[in-house]
Amino acid sequence: MCVLNLTGQLSHPLRSSMLCIFCLQERAPSLEHVFPLSVGGTVTTDRVCQECNSTLGTRVDAALSDFLPIRARRAELRLAGNSGTPPAWYEIFLGDATVIGQNVNRIQTTFDEATRKLDHRQLYHATDVVTADGRKQRRITIDARDKVQIPKIIQRERKRHGLAPLSDEELNAAAGDFETKEVKNPVVQLSIGASFAFLRHAMMKIAYELAFLWLGEAYLKDPIANALRTAILDPDVASTDKIDAYVDVADGCTAFKQFWIPTKSTTWPMPSSWRMVASRSMLGSSTSMQFPSW
Ligand SMILES: [Zn+2]
């Protein structure tokens, strides 16, 4: 018997053992979210063992939860998932970046909790230059807020270059020899990566679990179910490439609507272009799914 519940909880205590729909072993069950909890999933089943739940959660569900457009939407909807903390809207801006312009400089962006604003900090940069009168100089660029570090930096650079340390007096004079530059409206270039790896596994896993919940035990023996199961469990990212699938929408699928009903407590987490269907034609034919169209 399959258990379907829209509250995110099972309607009865976990059984001591069941046939896992992935590894097909008799094992202790776990609470499996068909749509990952991190995207607001409330449909649960107890037909996935702890081991499969854990492995697939790390490799497959995470691919969906951490997919950049999904994270952005999760941030907007404050969907936390297991971690208890939803993604932050600003996270894609954090880290090292490059200011484009006359002086190409590396900066580091963090989020200032006090001001609730992004904070850009010039990263330490050292280069050798030749002045107009032919003298060789070491030019250090630091964030203006790190001015107090200048004496220490001078002594460190001198040591690194085999020069004697300056006296206090010399150091004071040298430390005052700097210019401050303000970069107005800087153009910042940063790299944002979005991985598609295992995204298809994640969607096939949802389709597979929905199909099982809809069609019951017989579905586990279906050749397409077998192909899906094998591909989903395979750690090779290319394992789903040869799965015969076609694109369709879920509008006509009553069962899908029963599985996934947006309510006040369940914010619809998917873009409208993303629909999925587990149709009865799966038995002996093929799996229907539509991939997100970002
Ligand atoms: Zn299992």
Q: Separation of 279 CA from ligand 1 center, angstroms?
A: 24
pTM exceeding 0.75? no
Q: Separation of 82 CA from ligand 1 center, angstroms?
A: 20
In a domain, 181, yes or no: yes
Residues 219 and 258 placed together within one structural domain of the fold: yes
Range of the domain at 254: 18-67+195-283
Last residue of one domain, picked from the residues 189, 209, 244 = 189
Give the C-alpha separation, 231 to 227, whole Å. Answer: 6
Among 238-242, 248-252, 284-288, name the one with the lowest average pLDDT.
Answer: 284-288
Residues 123 and 264 placed together within one structural domain of the fold: no
Confidence band, pLDDT 50/70/90 cuts, at residue 259: low
Q: Separation of 154 CA from ligand 1 center, angstroms?
A: 61
Q: Separation of 137 CA from ligand 1 center, angstroms?
A: 65
- Domain total in the chain: 2
For residue 44, the tally of other CB atoms under 10 A from its CB is 25
Q: What is the mean pLDDT of the chain?
A: 80
Q: Which tens digit of pLDDT belongs to each residue from 135-173?
A: 888 888 888 898 899 999 999 999 998 999 999 999 998
Residues 99 and 169 placed together within one structural domain of the fold: yes
Report the b/e string of 221-239 with b at 16+ CB within 10 A.
ebebbebbbebbbeeebeb
